[in-house]
Amino acid sequence: MPMSPGYIPFHPNPSKPKYKPPAGAVDAHCHVFGPESKFPYAAERKYTPCDAPKEKLFALRDFLGFDKNVIVQASCHSRDNRAMVDALDASKGRAKGVAFVGEEVTDDSLKGMNRAGVRGVRFNFIKRLVEFTPRDVLQRLAARVHKLGWHIVVYFEMPDLPELEDFFTALPTIVVVDHMGTPDVKKGVDHPENQRFHKLLDKHKNFWVKATCPERMSVAGPPYDDVVPFGRALVERFGDRVIWGTDWPHPNMKRAAPDDGLLVDYIPRIAPAAAAQQAMLVDNPMRLYWS
């Protein structure tokens, strides 16, 4: 697959959100990229992001009213987790990480990442982003990270769920689903595809979900009215297993990067009750990443 030619930079000047997150709020899905001069992008990447260094992420965290970050390794850095680990080291305990590793990763390296604050690995099934990894390789990795008490973050496209479900439900760890399972919002919350995903969460209590990325799902654009019912349904049904994040710096977007302030203002629309906000932004991510 050809690499995207360039990048769309993150919003240069996000608005101050009207919504104030509760004390200790965690942005539980964001990335750091580069700087390329220090942490080069992977040769096998499918897109080249803008540099999005840790200093900018931490400044955004403070500006938006958050206290902590979970930094997820994205495909453009592939298995080179140094930029992410460097950000964890600099965070003074205010960031945890999710790594991307292959079978060649040594136990010492996993233990080192654990000490730095990594608490999970990401299995990426998005064909436009990564090459296929055989299931038996992923199973062996899952068994190794399970021993460390880590979880597995899965990123897939909802139409692929039927084919992936048996593999997912056999995983021994907590499984955290990226971006609401990537529903097609034009089809509606009640569409069988999305309901199948809800049933999976219903049946398997080790499954968690990120109510993230309205900006990727939305057809209507901000303030993301068409995505609100999807986020709200997840918060209502799985309120003790839902987390939220900005997805800054919004890699590989095909349109202008969103105003992060507007994304924060989306939170009370999917979680109107203070108790639900506290669970999604503080209690749940603290349990998953800091306990």
Output the six-digit token pair for 82: 């140094």
Min dist. Cβ of residue 7 to ligand 0GY (A): 11
Min dist. Cβ of residue 273 to ligand 0GY (A): 27
Q: Identify which of residues 27 and 178 has a Cβ nearer to ligand 0GY in the complex.
A: 178
Min dist. Cβ of residue 182 to ligand 0GY (A): 8
Output the six-digit token pair for 169: 């439900």
List the end-to-end C-alpha distance of the chain, in Å, as a whole number.
Answer: 40
Residues 177 to 216 in contact with ligand 0GY, rule: CB under 6 A: 178
Min dist. Cβ of residue 131 to ligand 0GY (A): 13
Q: Identify which of residues 81 and 252 has a Cβ nearer to ligand 0GY in the complex.
A: 252
92: left (phi over 0), alpha (psi -120 to 50) or beta: left
3-state secondary structure of 122: strand
Q: Is 124 a binder of ligand 0GY (CB under 6 A)?
A: yes
- The catalytic residue among 247, 260, 265, 283 is 247
Q: Is 247 a binder of ligand 0GY (CB under 6 A)?
A: yes
Q: Is 251 a binder of ligand 0GY (CB under 6 A)?
A: yes
3-state secondary structure of 25: coil
Output the six-digit token pair for 10: 């993150």
- Alpha-carbon distance values, 236 to 206, 212, 216, 277 (Å): 17, 15, 22, 11
290: left (phi over 0), alpha (psi -120 to 50) or beta: alpha
Q: Is 75 a binder of ligand 0GY (CB under 6 A)?
A: yes
Q: Site size for ligand 0GY, by CB under 6 A? A: 9
Q: Identify which of residues 124 and 173 has a Cβ nearer to ligand 0GY in the complex.
A: 124
**Segment interacting with ligand 0GY (CB under 6 A) among 74-82, 167-175, 228-236, 263-271:** 74-82
Min dist. Cβ of residue 130 to ligand 0GY (A): 7
Q: Is 121 a binder of ligand 0GY (CB under 6 A)?
A: no
Output the six-digit token pair for 140: 């062996």
Q: Residue 247 catalytic?
A: yes
Among 76, 145, 180, 211, binds ligand 0GY (CB under 6 A): 76
216-247 burial by CB neighbour count: b if 16+ within 10 A, else e? bbbeeeeebeebbbbbbbbbeebbebbbbbbb
DSSP 88: H
3-state secondary structure of 217: helix
Q: Is 252 a binder of ligand 0GY (CB under 6 A)?
A: yes
Q: What is the C-alpha separation between 286 and 291, in angstroms, rounded?
A: 6
Q: x-or-dash pattern for ligand 0GY, window 212-241, by CB under 6 A?
A: ------------------------------
Q: Identify which of residues 113 and 213 has a Cβ nearer to ligand 0GY in the complex.
A: 213
Min dist. Cβ of residue 96 to ligand 0GY (A): 16
The alpha carbon dihedral of 108, 110, 111, 116 has a sign of positive
**Segment interacting with ligand 0GY (CB under 6 A) among 59-67, 68-76, 109-117, 275-283:** 68-76
- Alpha-carbon distance values, 82 to 54, 87, 118, 148, 151 (Å): 12, 8, 12, 20, 20
Beta bridge partners of 209: 177, 242
Interface residues with ligand 0GY (CB under 6 A) are: 74-76, 124, 129, 178, 247, 251-252
Instruction: Enumerate the active-site residues.
Output: 247
